[in-house]
Amino acid sequence: MATRVLIPLAKGFEEIEAICVIDVLRRVGCEVILAAVDKESQESLVVESQSGVKIVADLKISEIQANNLDGVVLPGGWEGTQNLIASTALHAILSELNEKERICAAICAAPLALFKHKILTNQNFTCYPSIEKEIDNPHYKADSNVVQDGNLITSRGPATALEFAFFLARVFAGEQKSQEVQTGMLSV
Residues forming the active site: 108
Residue 14, amino acid: E
**HSE value, Cβ hemisphere, 13 Å, CA-based, for 139:** 13
Give the C-alpha separation, 154 to 73, whole Å: 9
Q: Is 14 helix (H, G, I), strand (E, B) or coil?
A: coil
Q: For residue 81, with 0-12 CB atoms within 10 Å meaning exposed, 13-18 middle and 19 or more buried, which class applies? A: buried
Write out the DSSP string of 109-174.
TTHHHHHHTTSSSSS-B--STTGGGGS--S-B-TT-SEEEETTEEEE--GGGHHHHHHHHHHHHH-
Closest CA to 105 of 63, 65, 148: 148
The angle formed by the CA atoms of residues 114, 138 and 124, to the nearest 5 degrees, is 55
